[in-house]
Structure 1
Amino acid sequence: MDIKQLQYFAEVAKQKSFTRAAEVLHVSQPSISKMLKSLETELDVILLDRTERKIELTDAGQLVFEYAQRVLHIMGDLTASIEELRQVERGFVKLGLLPTVGAFLLPAAIAGFKKRYPHIELEMREYSARPLEVQVEQGHIDIGLTVLPVDEGRFEAIPLRSEEMVAIVHQEHWLYGRESVDLKELEDESFVLFTEEYAMHDVVRQACLRAGFEPKVAYMSSLWDFVGEMVAAQMGISLVPRSVAERLNKGRLHVVALSWPPIDWTYALICRKDRYLSHAARAFIGFVREHAYV
């Protein structure tokens, strides 16, 4: 039994005429007769009472007609749903974010996306950089918002926005009032760094190593605000993206640009290279790239 058999039979049952059914289906009447005969043979029942001038359903025919309508309705819904997916009218996207980063980068993009695609659901979870990559690689989330670099052998990376890293210092620090500083000048400073599972930790450490010194770590934290408070309390200095520094700077901190070497902090969306990416997920990536929210 196949869908075409049920479709032909259901149309004959509705029209009570082979001729009118053939016209509706745009097929020949012999094709319909042959299809219905094969259906009756397969089910081993008589579906249509042809003894009268008007075609009537037998009891078996009525039963098959009821089921055929259900099946054809389900198939119609399935076809429409698939088409909606192709047109990105509905779907589900699992998005992983770096803590805090997503909070100030994506709200406007998400709001715009939901307005454009109201039936696509977004599920957002926070991870530090390394666990986020693991989640993407294992397929638990579709897209990750992280910081470059990433392993381009495993991930497709879509760069979004780059910004400079800056130093933040307390009000009584010798750098207070300076507009810029060479990273090498910070060799004797104590640093308040993010914990090792965060991309920020490696970015700062590698930059210091390139400048010729190993940073002296006074404290480590996983919280942006706590890092800022520790710097304000004169426990050390820190290097953070400028957008973060501006959020933390409430009169108690001073922001100093790094004159050399410049340290880029580039946000990117990542997805696994060898994994199917849904229409909804691709629509989200395209929307974020197209609109200058980040």
Structure 2
Amino acid sequence: MDIQHLKYFVEVARQKNFTKASQILLVSQPSISKMIKSLEDELKVTLLDRSERKIELTDAGVTVYEQALKILQSVEDVYDSVNELVQVKKGTIKLGLMPTTGVLIFPNVLAGFKRKYPEIDIQMVEYSAKQLKRKVEQGEIDLGITVLPMNSELFETIPLLTEELVVLVDSEHWLVERESVRLSDLKNESFILLTEDYALHDVVEQACIQSGFEPTVAYKSSLWDLIGEMVATKLGISLIPRSMVSRFNNQRVRAISISDPMIKWELVLVYKKNKYLSFATREFIEYIQSHKL
């Protein structure tokens, strides 16, 4: 068994397809098949269920896949450590963002960091909060900008921004003349929520339950603008971070504060505990800590 065996196996497991894996690895499909068969023979187990069109991991395959990820990450850390000595103030940062956070941090923080470190390449990818946690944990991205809560045993977090959630209602709703409302007063309302992929879905649902009711969900969407339009057309209300209100047409919707309880939306920079951090990544962490969003 060597690193190449594990690398080929992990890519096939990710793609669930030999052809796609061979295209990504730039290696012929027969070579990949031979490598994985050799790995199976050495371990004396079947790692891949090839009986269907879409390849799936066997029970043994799941175990080997999880361990292979750790081994490959350790090998990558070795290369990163050496590369840091050779290429000072150069490097690449893989940064995961939620769709809502790019607007908050790009104009000031990212532009300023790029001016200071022009040789550091920042590769940004958007994920939902829950997807982002998985990507950081699996080592596919170096840093993520997401929201609490996070598992403190797995991740280090750096506070960036805290703001309140507000109620978004249509311009003729009974709440428009109110400055604030108790969350419990909304128990008979229809809610428009983000889908379960988004952490905000769980935050709103849990806040409602703690206030004594389970929210009646009329619609779910992964698109902020669509949520705003549905609220404007009186299909329900929504709870959103206050910073998001400005993206909606304020002639058609209103934002009302929630007085009890105040629901926090806490934005954090997150990275995996005990993972090697490159020079570029450490510089970005220090820079973002010293600059307000």
TM-score, with normalisation over the residues of structure 1? Answer: 0.70
CA distance in 1, matches of 2:102, 2:157: 16
Report matched runs for 1:43-82 at 5 Å: 82=85
Rounded Cα–Cα distance in structure 1 between residues aligned with 2:84 and 2:275: 22
Structure 1 gaps, min length 5:
1-78
- Contact 1:177–1:254 (CA<8 Å) still a contact in 2? no
Q: State the distance in 2 between where 1:119 and 1:84 align.
A: 10
Deviations for 1:211-237, whole angstroms, at most 9, x for unmatched residues? 010000000000111110100010000
The question of 1:258 aligning with 2:261 is answered: no
**Superposed CA RMSD:** 1.5
Aligned partners of 2:219 and 2:84: how far apart in 1?
53
Distance, in Å, in 2 between the alignment partners of 1:203 and 1:172 is 27
Q: Secondary structure at the match of 2:275?
A: coil
Say if 1:80 and 1:163 are closer, same or farther in 2 by CA, change over 3 A. Answer: closer
| Cα drift, residue 82 of structure 1 | 2.2
Match of 1:150 in 2: 150
One-letter code aligned to 2:85: I
- Unaligned residue ranges in structure 2 (runs of 5+): 1-81
Residues 115 and 177 of structure 1: is their aligned pair in 2 closer, same or farther, counting only changes over 3 Å? same
- Give secondary structure in 2 for the equivalent of 1:106: helix
Counterpart CA distance in 1 for 2:183 and 2:83 is: 59
**Alignment partners' CA distance in 1, 2:174 and 2:83:** 67
Q: What amino acid does structure 2 have at the position aligned with 1:95?
A: L
Q: Which amino acid aligns with 2:209?
A: L
Contact 1:102 1:145 in 2 (8 A): no
The one-letter code of the counterpart of 1:180 is: S
Q: What is the match of residue 4 of structure 1? A: none
Alignment match, 2:270: 270
- Identity among equivalent positions (%) equals 51
Q: Is the 8 A contact 2:192 2:219 kept in 1?
A: yes
CA gap 1:80/1:247 in 2 versus in 1, 3 angstroms = closer
Q: How does 1:30-49 map to 2 (within 5 A)?
A: none
Structure 1 residue 184 displacement after superposition: 0.4
Q: Return closer, same or farther for 1:213/1:135 CA change in 2, 3 Å cut-off.
A: same
Asked if 1:177 is matched to 2:180, the reply is no
Partner of 1:244: 244
SS in 1 for 2:197: coil
For residues 179 and 191 of structure 2, the distance between their equivalents in structure 1, rounded to whole angstroms, comes to 19
Aligned to 1:289: 289
Residue equivalent to 1:18: none
State the alpha-carbon separation in 2 of the partners of residues 263 and 151 from structure 1. Answer: 20
Q: What's the CA shift for 1:130?
A: 1.2
Q: Quote the Cα distance in structure 2 between the aligned partners of 1:130 and 1:80.
A: 31
Letter in 1 for 2:230: M
The total of aligned residue pairs comes to: 212
Q: Which moved more, 1:94-103 or 1:142-151?
A: 94-103
**C-alpha distance in 2, partners of 1:80/1:99?**
32
| Contact in 2 for aligned 1:169/1:237 (Cα 8 Å) | yes
Question: Alpha carbons of 1:81 and 1:147: their partners in 2 closer, same or farther (altered >3 Å)?
Answer: closer
| Mapped partners of 1:267, 1:134: distance in 2 | 17
> Is 1:235 aligned to residue 238 of structure 2?
no
Q: Describe the shift of the 1:182–1:193 C-alpha distance in structure 2 as closer, same or farther (beyond 3 A).
A: same
| Aligned 8 A contact 1:146 1:270 in 2 | yes
Residue type of the alignment partner of 2:226: F
Alpha-carbon offset, residue 81 of structure 1: 7.1
Are residues 81 and 218 of structure 1, via their aligned partners in 2, closer, same or farther at CA, if it must alter by over 3 Å?
closer
Which residue pairs with 1:164 in the alignment?
Answer: 164
- Distance in 2 between residues matched to 1:100 and 1:204, nearest whole Å: 16
CA distance in 1, matches of 2:269, 2:137: 13
Q: Which structure has the bigger radius of gyration?
A: 1
Q: Displacement of 1:252 after TM fit? A: 0.8
